[in-house]
Amino acid sequence: MTVSAEEFQGQLAAADARGRRATAELAAAADDRARVIAAEVKRRGRGGARQVAAELGVSEKTIFQAVARGRRTVGPSRRLPADTLVRLLAGELDSVPPLRSAQWRALAWLIRGTLIDETWIGQPGELLALEVEDAELVEALEPDVIIAACRAWSPVRAMAVIDACQRDDLSVLPVED
């Protein structure tokens, strides 16, 4: 399957965003570790750094650096885990009413040809229904059924369907065939 320049740029941007999230998660883990070490050194009092260094098999300098980092960080990260969005969207797909495989393919084709940006966040199902109406699909696909389905989806469910279609992963969508 060939990929257009726009799809290539989108895939590259998604991969870069995933890398940034992974880097941020690693930094948060290092901050958490530093806070734990700093708290333990403080709890042990005088000589605590030497004891913790011996237990961890690192130098006292490493422990002092961790303590300094632990003091600089504000507190545990209160952000959601990095894979929260992926899990949320996958969970929503479990409750999507089925369509025929030909209907899913037609919807995926429409979605991949549509610029979906932040304006879709508020009412993605309705906007998707309008795209289906404008596409004038053949009657054999029963566009009215697709339109009704799109309008019935919650915003998160609609975004889950859009995501699956953009990734060309139609196997996760329920089929009534």
The DSSP code for 143 is: H
Q: What value does the mean pLDDT of the chain take? A: 89
Q: How far is C-alpha 50 from the geometric centre of its chain's CA atoms? A: 42
Look up tokens 């899913």; give the residue: 104
Q: pTM for this one?
A: 0.58
Q: What is the pLDDT of residue 11?
A: 82
Dist. CA 98–CA 156, nearest whole Å: 17
pLDDT digits (tens, 9 = 90+) for 94-127: 899 999 999 999 999 999 999 998 889 999 999 9
**Sorting pLDDT into bands at 50, 70 and 90, what band is 81?**
confident
CA distance 160 to 154: 10
Confidence band of 14 (pLDDT split at 50, 70, 90): confident
- Position 75 scores a pLDDT of 65
Q: What is the pLDDT of residues 30-43, one digit of tens each?
A: 888 999 999 999 99
